[in-house]
Each structure stands twice: as structure tokens, then as C-alpha cells.
Amino acid sequence: MELIQHNRCFDGEQRIYAFNSKVLNGEAKFSIFLPPQALLGQACRTLFYLAGLTCTEDTFAIKAHAQRLAAQLGFILISPDTSPRGEHVAQGDSWDLGQGAGFYINATQAPWAEHYQMERFIVDELYELVSHNFPIQVHKVGIFGHSKQCFFENMENILVC
């Protein structure tokens, strides 16, 4: 996991990380806001934010301005990129399909199945990565978003809000 960017924000820190995702078969990025409590090592409640069509890992951090309230309440905010990206990743024929589309499902057909395993990425890989590297209260994790319908079958530890 490589720290790409970090900025102080409301006594916390807004960060962007990249890592090699085995599930997506390539590089993946996510942003995370760590409130002051987390920077001090205190386990914090956590919210995963799933952005919609054409968004990236930093859209929520830039547009929502949720860091102030998250800092006050002691919440970690995590926002993954909306899809796999790169020259080796399938593109759609229209602007609303393919890279940046924001479908949080596991594709089953070519050419999508090789990289578009977004449910597994969020529920299994990203959740495990952040829970092992940041002070997350594992029984106080939620998920929310906009601009999509999504359903995760394997969310034993994640509360759907």
C-alpha cells in the first residue's frame, strides 16, 4: 500500500492510497479521512462511501465536505475508486459503462469479469486491508453512497445504512 497524497484537515488527515488489488487484477485507489482520534491510535467508527457514475476515490472528499463532522464525531471515512482503471481494463462503448461507471457488482462475462469484481473488492479485499492498517472498530462499520443500487451478499461485519 502506497500513500499517494495526504493533507491535514480539521485536525485529522485526508489521505489517498494505491495498492495492487488481487481482486481487481491491477492497481486500486481509495481515500481515507482519519479524524484526530484515529491519528492518536483510538479505534473509530467507520463509514464506507460508494460514489456513483464518473466519480473517483477523491470525489466524496472534495465535494461533500464531511471531514469536519467526521472529525467532531470521531468517524473514519473511506471512499474507494468506483471501478478498476488502466489501459488493460475493459472500456465500454458509452460514457456510462466501463471505467468509472460505479457498479458495485461482480461481473461474470468477458471482457468485464477479469477486472470488474467490485463487490468482492469492497467487501473482502478493501475491508480487510483497512481493518488491518487503520484503527477501525470492526463492529461499528457502515456503508452508504449515492447514484446506484447495490447489494452485497457477504457483509457479515458491515452494517448497511
pLDDT digits (tens, 9 = 90+) for 53-74: 777 788 888 888 899 999 999 9
Place of cell 470492526: 138
Average of per-residue pLDDT across 4-8: 96
Among 57, 53, 50, 66, which Cα is nearest to 9's? 66
String of DSSP letters for the chain = -EEEEEEEETTEEEEEEEEEETTTTEEEEEEEEE-HHHHTT--EEEEEEE--TT--TTHHHHHH--HHHHHHHTEEEEEE-SS--STTS---SSTTSSTT----SB--STTTTTT-BHHHIIIIIIHHHHHHHS-EEEEEEEEEESS-----S--SS-EE-
Average of per-residue pLDDT across 92-106: 74
pLDDT of residue 160: 43
pLDDT of residue 158: 47
| Angstrom distance (rounded) from CA 32 to CA 133 | 11
Cell numbers describing residue 61: 472528499
pLDDT of residue 4: 96
Domains of the chain: 2-86+95-160 (3.40.50.1820)
Q: Is the pLDDT of residue 145 over 60?
A: yes
